[in-house]
Structure 1
């Protein structure tokens, strides 16, 4: 009887190991499905073959140690998709956590530890995490223990169990940690401590079986914290070309209609929208409504798509005048639709002068706000940026001032006259982008005050256009001029050269309270 009591815990331990190791397929993308081929990997990610081949070389063969990797590039350039598909191709276990969904250190630590310990939150455990962890020091201790157990499960202990039941989809005993949206960590409290700890994990753990991959929209230069960590190997993801975007859009199953492919190729929509944004995640939504308008002549006349050249030319002639208005309707900064005032604005827009209607017709709202930001940067002193935008949406604070004397008024008028005689000043790109962000948020607050229904706020659609492309467009249109680079800063400076009447007219069409933020008035 004594021997039986001693054997029972041993059988339980073996069963627990088998149960936990069989869950290792959860750490492999695709589970027990057969791995994709190299051709499928490259064909699923158009325009990313150089980056994929470079990452495969850096990851190396099975069970080979690696240096930390840093994948960076603009938003929607295929960084996350590429690395996830690579791991699906390699069939290697990894732990993925996004700093966008895990927006606090506690959520980030909990997400990593739950995956590492093969813990699933459900009703049985009260949807509790495996470990409650808030401090980086505790996280490192839990991480080291969990990694050691998982490596043993992947390697030494697994040889004693049935290989057919034990994580048959996994290859090797390496475990990889992927941290996505690293640029958002800089908005956290004590972000420098968290960022430094994450970049130092490879040196702290000192485990050759562990690899770290960081994904960010900003370059590695923005993470220099003077903490002495070894820099990861950078891998840059450039923006897509027009040809790449066209291939990506054609690959989606709903877009494999021959007429839709003709719409992308012959209607010129990709090249037109490419000047405004290169976000692949925004373009399909924009093209859905445009494609319906593209097919209207066929539905109205009861025609069947034939693919003939004459029909393509007819459809393009009927459709081309709708591209420019769509650029202004779709790519907007945060707005709050479905209000009575928006309908009133549409009525009053039709009664405006031809010049104002032309501005509304050809310039997206985000470009208007960028032009307003450049005008504020040219005419406002840099020292006034903080007081003006310190409390967004609270520009009326400037009215609650003590009554100034006549001498102060005279000095202010003289200063304003000197400023007008001097003309617009130059500004750096960083300052204009900071003002643009504040102006965008200020406009959101203005709209939020007019909306009483909170559900409307939740349904607000947000489109993020490429600001640098819009800046280049404004420079080509001679609204903004480039000045010589500053000898101290070494960066290009800009100057807004539009008149006050013009920018006031633009501000009214947004609408944006420009006078509230303009110092010289």
Structure 2
């Protein structure tokens, strides 16, 4: 069969399963579909969660019947597990391969590249394109720092047509370590916008209702939940969970299907209550359905505080740095955040300022450069100040977790205040394994 015709048929078949992903489908088909040509050295696919990165990649490889190995890097927390998992999965690709086949121990990168070459030649796959798909590739940074360089140079090390496909939620700049990594081909899976989410969610319409009626329900659902979540899986879960409540007045004969205003007034308080519980995952789906059957008699806590906000990784450290700058005296920064700060002087008595409890006095305003200095001191690894970090500071201000206390015209030296409580910052610090009490002046 003509390769172009085969790729076209695959595109038509996958377009129905993955709507609003046609540019990515065409790009991957163009890369994977050339079986008679040497494959690219490595591919890096990145984007937000639930944007179809892994599902689309595996669907195309399976549809084109291309030999590939898939593994989740979360499961491989040591280099040995990673190497032996790949070598073990390759046995399935052979014509007479067995999943129970035993493999010799593989502990280092040189053994892995040698054994990978032998395995591909043994299975007669050295002349065909083979792909190693690594999902959650950001976990590779926790292993040997040379592993990433090896996976971007597999063709050079093995002299075979094998390539790594790295799938991650982070951008490639966070992977750079200066160890000789070849920059891979980049493919971005953008986040779904409102119109695309409307199209995707409407495809789950039950057979007993019209697509127009279900589209109205999806529009109401997105108007409530879209400001706080664009996760497709979360929205699909919420749609399936709340559709029966939306249809309840119709099944009782109180409202017709075309009376959207009455249906909205009936479902609005229910969706707001669901946003405080289901989205923050404080209760399970079974618990929520039980509450509905019991008339929602169980009390619901107020989860509107910032302690329950799901913040990006660096935003959490920015908020921790802001809290430390707000409650620590500026003269103590050298003591807490500078490694070689010199020998501390012995003082007989504390001054009046040292006797005062800063947490009782409340947060103090601090300049931006001091907060960023603390941030770079406490965060793991080298982080380059960029527009991405600045946008996260703006997001914290928008969420009212930080307050801009100077005028907006003073761009050269803005000052902020931190509004989060001690309990909240302890919860946030716990999620990133940071002991904030050690760095607070009042507790030392």
What is the TM-score normalised by the length of structure 2?
0.69
Q: Does 2:397 correspond to 1:475?
A: yes
Structure 1 contact 328–362 (Cα < 8 Å) conserved:
yes
Q: What is aligned with 1:132?
A: 105
Q: Deviations over 1:39-79 (max 9, x none)?
A: 22123222221122222223352221122111111222211
Match of 1:201 in 2: 154
**Based on CA coordinates, which of the two structures has the bigger radius of gyration?**
1
Matches of residues 501-516 of structure 1 in structure 2 within 5 Å?
A: 503=421
From 347, 350, 357, the equivalent of 1:408 is 350
Are the counterparts in 2 of residues 113 and 131 from structure 1 also a CA contact under 8 Å? no
Q: 1:319 to 1:431 in 2, by over 3 A?
A: farther
> Which has the bigger relative contact order, CA under 8 A and spacing at least 6?
1
C-alpha distance in 2, partners of 1:492/1:212?
46
CA distance in 1, matches of 2:118, 2:423: 63
Q: Among 200, 209, 227, which residue is 1:258 paired with?
A: 209
Matches within 5 A, 1:71-470: 71-118=45-92, 129-150=102-123, 152=124, 173-188=128-143, 191-207=144-160, 209-252=161-204, 258=209, 262-263=213-214, 265-266=216-217, 268-299=220-251, 301-302=252-253, 307=257, 309-310=258-259, 312-332=260-280, 360=302, 362=304, 365-367=307-309, 373=320, 376-381=323-328, 407-408=349-350, 410-413=352-355, 416=358, 423-426=365-368, 427-428=371-372, 431=375
Judge conservation of contact 1:429–1:493 (CA < 8 Å) in 2: no
Q: How much has 1:281 moved relative to structure 2?
A: 2.2
- 1:146 is displaced (CA, Å) by 0.9
Which residue in 2 is equivalent to 1:495?
416
Question: For the residues of structure 1 that align with 2:334 and 2:240, how far apart are their CA atoms?
Answer: 40
Contact 2:136–2:169 at 8 Å: present in 1 too? yes
How far did 1:35 drift? Answer: 10
SS in 2 for 1:211: strand
Distance verdict in 2 for CA 1:318–1:273, change over 3 Å? same
Once the two structures are superposed, residues 57-105 of structure 1 have per-residue CA deviations (whole angstroms, 9 ceiling, x without a partner) of 2335222112211111122221111111221332222111221233332
* Secondary structure at 1:92 match in 2: coil
CA 508–99 in structure 1, closer or farther in 2 if over 3 Å, else same: closer
* Structure 1 residue 244: Cα displacement: 2.0
Instruction: Give the 3 Å change call, closer, same or farther, for CA 234–66 of structure 1 in structure 2.
Output: same
CA separation of 1:53 and 1:230: change in aligned 2, threshold 3 A: same
Aligned to 1:398: none
Cα distance change, pair 379–497 in 1 and its aligned pair in 2 (3 A): closer
SS in structure 2 opposite 1:282? helix
8 Å contact 1:429–1:494 — kept in the other structure? Answer: no
Residues 106 and 133 of structure 1 are in contact (CA less than 8 Å); yes or no, is this contact kept in structure 2?
yes
Deviation at 1:469, TM superposition (A): 10
Assess if the C-alpha contact under 8 Å between 2:120 and 2:126 holds in 1.
Answer: no
Compared CA separation, residues 405 and 482, structure 1 to 2 (3 A) = closer
Q: Distance in 1 between matches of 2:426 and 2:92?
A: 56
Change (3 A) 1:263 1:237: same
Q: CA deviation at 1:145?
A: 0.5
CA contact (8 A) 1:183 1:216 kept: yes
Deviations 1:255-305 (A, max 9, x none): 565378735534521232222222222222333332233233345x356x8
DSSP 3-state at the match of 2:195? helix
- 8 Å contact from structure 2 (residues 149, 182) kept in 1: no
SS in 1 for 2:416: strand
Distance in 1 between residues matched to 2:87 and 2:309, nearest whole Å: 44
State the number of aligned residues.
Answer: 388
Cα distance in 1 for partners of 2:247, 2:130 equals: 50
Match of 1:51 among 7, 24, 27: 24
Match of 2:342 in 1: none
* TM-score after normalising by structure 1: 0.60
Give the C-alpha shift of residue 232 in structure 1. 0.8
Aligned partners of 2:241 and 2:394: how far apart in 1?
28
Deviations 1:149-175 (A, max 9, x none): 23x3686xxxxxxxxxxxxxxxxx322
CA distance in 2, matches of 1:347, 1:481: 38
More helix by percentage: 1
Q: Is the 8 A contact 2:67 2:93 kept in 1?
A: no
Q: Secondary structure at the match of 2:46?
A: strand
Paired residues of 1:74 and 1:238 also in contact (CA < 8 A):
yes
Residues 36 and 348 (structure 1 numbering): CA distance in 2 closer, same or farther, change over 3 Å? closer
Match of 2:3 in 1: none
Q: Secondary structure, in 3 states, of the residue corresponding to 1:236? A: strand
Partner secondary structure for residue 69 of structure 2: strand
Q: 1:136 to 1:101 in 2, by over 3 A?
A: same
Distance across 2 between alignment mates of 1:491 and 1:233: 38
Alpha-carbon offset, residue 237 of structure 1 = 1.4
